Structure 1
Amino acid sequence: MRLARALSACLAGSALFLAGTGPAAAAGVSGADLSLAWGIPFVGMLLSIALMPLLAGHIWHHHYGKIAAGWAVLLVLPFAIAFGPETAASEVWHIVLQEYVPFIALLLALYVTGGGVLLKGTLVGTPATNTALLALGTVIASLMGTTGASMLLIRPVLRANAFRTRKTHTFVFFIFLVSNIGGSLTPLGDPPLYLGFLKGVSFFWTTTHLFAEFLTCAVILLGVYYVLDSWAWSKEKAAAPDTGAREPLRVEGTVNLGLIGLVVVMVLLQGYWQPGEVTILGQHIGAERLVGIAVFVAIAFVSMKLTPASLREENGFAWGAILEVAKLFAAIFVTMAPVLAILRAGVDGAAGPLVALTSDTAGQPIPAVYFWLSGALSSFLDNAPTYLVFFNLAGGDPGHLMTDGALTLAAISCGSVFMGANSYIGNAPNFMVKAIVEENGERMPSFFGYCAWALVFLVPLFILITLIFF
């Protein structure tokens, strides 16, 4: 299996790197000691994703993994020279063990199980059908996660619209709604809210405190999409396919729905079951997280064994999308680490003037600023650690934030979840949807092209959300 080999190579490479320096013992580098120059490899990584497909598409598509690894090396080598190889090894191993491996294991489980569910029957991509599919995905995203909902529904959407010539907007709004905004009602929906749950935010706090913001965004975006798709439908030259007698909708590969349920249960269990920590090469990690990784990989294996190959072939399942995400996000996780460390340093770090904007002269938090800062950074950084940065800047006390600081916590939560939709790398499902759509021969906007869609449709909506709620 190509993905298994890629994951094994990643783990083996990390282990070999650490073996050459011995178990990491050095303390982590404080973000207060880092200048903004350490963010250059991350900016280079972003510009490569944005520009190289346009300027050197052939080179990028054949060598994107090597280019991404190059930017990671351009950070790690100077870091090792400046702070010592043991410290560099410690930081890289921390990222691999604590962040990347749990991240990719969860994505793997959802990608494989979602790709094993086939929706059959007469499904024609009319404006009403497409809007209904997007609405369904928006609702279930808070129950099975934005990644799970995206992987489950993107292929049915692709098949329903295969005959249409104007359909790029459907995939863009799919990312807006299913891959991001839909995950705002429970900790299962999106990683930032799950981290808040692990920090002590009650499970249904987001359901009750973000529902109005979620509903406003969902209703407006679905309404705008219906109007836009109706206009595009009226311009279509190709008529809807004549399917004859309508075949009722049915689901095949239902065993995978049960496996997706197991993934959700395991994610939730990690928040309640914490048996203690395990030390691996100097890094402490909760035993429940290691169990979670093993369970997610096992679920993917079981799904591959139990799902007929013919069903996956009919569903257009392939490994390219998850391989692309695995390679690119490995480099993204490494290169963005100094940027997040600088932000965690608060007013003592190089981003101090930016952080200082979150409070007024009396030291009181400004919810609107928290919404936009957490959102703007979540658009290009991983939205989960960005959420934690601002959660801690707001005091980090869940009891206070859920009561007296509820408006601030709601602003941080909405910013981190909603504005992950502003770019392809704001949330992992965004990039996975893009990769799957392109893998099926359909066109998606470029990196900047997608950001332009977000600028037109999302930014005005977020301004409205600010005026109404924050």
Structure 2
Amino acid sequence: MAAGAVQAAEVDGAAMSVAWGIPFVGMLLSIALLPLVAPRFWHHHFGKVTAGWALAFLLPFALVYGMGAASVNLVHALLAEYLPFVILLTALYAVAGGIYVRGNLRGSPGLNTAILAIGAVLASFMGTTGASMLLIRPLLRANDNRRHQAHVVVFFIFIVSNAGGALTPLGDPPLFLGFLKGVDFFWTVRHIWQPMLFLTLALLAIFYVIDHKLMGEKGEADLPDPTPSVDVTGAQSRLGFDGRMNFVLLGGVVALVLISGIWRTPVGFDIAGTHVGLPGLVRDVGLIVVALLSLKITPACVHQANDFGWGPMQEVAKLFAGIFLTIIPVIAMLKAGVDGPFGAVVRAVTNGDGTPNPAMYFWATGVLSSFLDNAPTYLVFFNTAGGDPAHLMTDMALTLAAISAGAVFMGANTYIGNAPNLMVKAIAEDRGVKMPGFFGYMIWSVCILVPLLVLMTLIWFK
């Protein structure tokens, strides 16, 4: 990297004003409010709104810090963060969308709870995105004869799209970043399995009670089922899978991600000041090939049966493009530590004697992960705690566990806390489920998730 590029990329977060966070806040408020107050406008123009907020950051940033800094930060956000993120999501979306769970499932409280439990197990091994894309469609079909469906999707986001990914680096992006930094692959499962099991079982129990009560309402269980008991060819079918070759491709996705974390080499390319490593490049190209291969080999009737379409993926890709760009100054200010505009947040995680406060690390990481991207938030507090994986895994194991748990579990607090949340919401709405808005969803998370997280703090992180 040229010296000029290095200087352009180094923006002092300590010297920045909190006003630089306005485009990011505007982006969040747009996602939260416009679908409620102007749904037709948002549906047709959310891409333009996203581009507007991105430009509201980039143009002033270029004027103040120069075109060099703007271009370097833009390229870094796209090549090092956004594109790998979107490519992985696209591959998982395409492959999972090519698997059709056939058979006439009926959405009883017992069956719904079982599907959520299976998703929680799968999420740590095929990623929260992969598990979410695999199971959300059959779960929606199983409940398509019911008046009450939104609560099923909300708990699916809580359990499958978030809590279930807490056991391995394959489960959720923050943990994968920790793996890349040197955290042992099995460290997470050894230190977080108890909080994860507590949260998952508690959520499953609460869901069963709520679903059983709603199922018991007059006429709810007797509504006609619009889902035919046929396979994709129209013949009578038993429970099973169509598009089974996609399970092999799903294994390929997992292998590519895992290899990119294990394979260490300095070989790579510098593009406008951003180093694109060979392992990451091979992973991303491989994921694109897997996605294209899935689209090629999956019969059209499977996609048709799944109501497969690119609308939800396009929405997530456009919205997170704006989030990844407008979040640049916010992350820079957080990285400035105690000297930055958010110094109070960094100071809050440290006791008076200089020792770390695990409970505060848990909540600081979690609250910020609810509204920022949880992967860079994890890195901020990983580095705040010292950044030495050997020390964090041993003497500061409780602190690292708190950071990891906060980033994963509290991603469920809002629709934007974790990428699968927004994808699941979009798929549910695409199938006619009336989902709660941004703040309506937060009422669910505050009333159900937050009390469980408080208990978790008292039991494991005090």
**Do they fold alike, i.e. is TM over 0.5?**
yes
The yes-or-no answer on 1:210 pairing with 2:192 is yes
Q: From 86, 91, 115, give the equivalent of 1:104.
A: 86
Change beyond 3 A, Cα 1:439–1:244:
closer
Q: Residue 24 of structure 2 corresponds to which residue in structure 1?
A: 42
- Provide the C-alpha distance between the structure 1 equivalents of 2:349 and 2:378, rounded to a whole number of angstroms: 14
Residues 147 and 163 of structure 1: CA distance in aligned 2, closer, same or farther (over 3 Å):
same
- Contact 1:31 1:345 survives alignment (8 Å): yes
Structure 2 gaps of 5+ residues are 231-235
Contact 1:24 1:86 in 2 (8 A): no
The CA distance in 1 between the partners of 2:260 and 2:339, in whole Å, is 33
How do 1:49-198 and structure 2 match up within 5 A?
49-198=31-180
- Contact 1:28/1:90 (<8 A) preserved: no
Report runs of 4+ in structure 1 exceeding 6 Å deviation: 22-25, 242-246
Equivalent residue letter for 2:28: L
Matched with 2:299 is 308
Question: Aligned with 1:464: secondary structure?
Answer: helix
Contact 1:387 1:413 survives alignment (8 Å): yes
One-letter code aligned to 2:17: S
Q: Which amino acid aligns with 1:106?
A: L
Alignment: residue pair count: 449
1:254 maps to which of 235, 244, 254: 244
1:272 aligns with 2:262: yes
* Match in the other structure for 1:336: 327
1:430-445 matched pairs, under 5 angstroms: 430-445=421-436
Structure 2 SS opposite 1:271: helix
- What is the rounded CA distance, in whole Å, between the counterparts of 1:419 and 1:392 in structure 2? 19
**Whole-Å separation in 2 of the counterparts to 1:40 and 1:124:** 47
Paired residues of 2:103 and 2:229 also in contact (CA < 8 A): no
For residues 334 and 27 of structure 1, the distance between their equivalents in structure 2, rounded to whole angstroms, comes to 14
CA distance in 2, matches of 1:360, 1:311: 56
**Residues 347-366 of structure 1 correspond to what in structure 2 (within 5 A)?**
347-366=338-357
Q: Distance in 1 between matches of 2:81 and 2:290?
A: 20
The amino acid that maps onto 1:398 is P
Cα root mean square deviation, aligned: 1.5
Deviation of 1:237 (Å): 1.9
Deviation at 1:293, TM superposition (A): 1.1
Partner residue of 1:3?
none
How many angstroms apart in 1 are the aligned matches of 2:288 and 2:446? 37
Residues 336 and 231 of structure 1, relative CA distance in 2, 3 Å threshold: same
Tell me, in whole angstroms, the C-alpha distance in 1 between the residues paired with 2:312 and 2:15: 37
Using the TM superposition, give the Cα deviation of residue 362 of structure 1 relative to its aligned residue in structure 2, in angstroms.
Answer: 0.7
Displacement of 1:240 after TM fit? Answer: 5.3
Structure 1 residue corresponding to 2:314, chosen from 323, 337, 349: 323
Counterpart of 1:65, as a letter, is G
Structure 1: gaps spanning 5 or more residues: 1-21
Q: Which amino acid aligns with 1:259?
A: L
Calculate percent identity across the aligned residue pairs. Answer: 56
Shift of 1:283: 1.6
AA aligned opposite 1:423:
T
The answer to whether the 8 A contact 2:412-2:445 is kept is yes
C-alpha contact 1:24 1:281 (8 A) present in aligned 2: no
CA pair 328-455 structure 1, distance change in 2 beyond 3 A: same
Which range moves more in the overlay, 175-184 or 332-341? 332-341
The alignment's TM-score, normalised by the length of structure 2, stands at: 0.95
- For 2:428 and 2:271, the matched residues in 1 are separated by 38
User: 1:352–1:158: structure 2 CA closer, same or farther, 3 Å change rule?
Assistant: same
Alpha-carbon distance, 1:381 to partner? 0.4
Work out which of the residue numbers 398, 407, 420 in structure 2 matches 1:429: 420
Which stretch of structure 1 is more off in the superposition, 31-40 or 96-105?
31-40
Deviations 1:273-308 (A, max 9, x none): 123231123321211111111111111100000001
**Corresponding residue of 1:29:** 11
Answer yes or no: is 1:231 the counterpart of 2:213: yes
CA distance in 2, matches of 1:120, 1:253: 10
Displacement after TM superposition at 1:30 (Å) = 2.0
Q: Decide which of 341, 359, 363 is 1:368's aligned counterpart.
A: 359
SS at 1:279's partner residue? strand
- Separation in 2, partners of 1:275, 1:85: 31
How does 1:285-304 map onto structure 2 within 5 Å? 285-304=276-295
Counterparts of 2:406 and 2:6, CA distance in 1? 35
| CA shift for structure 1 position 23 | 7.7
Q: Which residue, out of 438, 445, 458, partners 1:447?
A: 438
Normalising to structure 1: TM-score of the pair? Answer: 0.93
Output the amino acid matched with 1:126. S
Alignment partner of 1:282 out of 273, 283, 291: 273
Could you tell me how far 1:41 is from its partner in structure 2?
Answer: 0.4
SS at match of 1:275: coil
Partner Cα distance (1:326, 1:418) in 2: 23
Query: Which residue type is aligned with residue 346 of structure 2?
Result: V
SS at the partner of 1:171?
helix
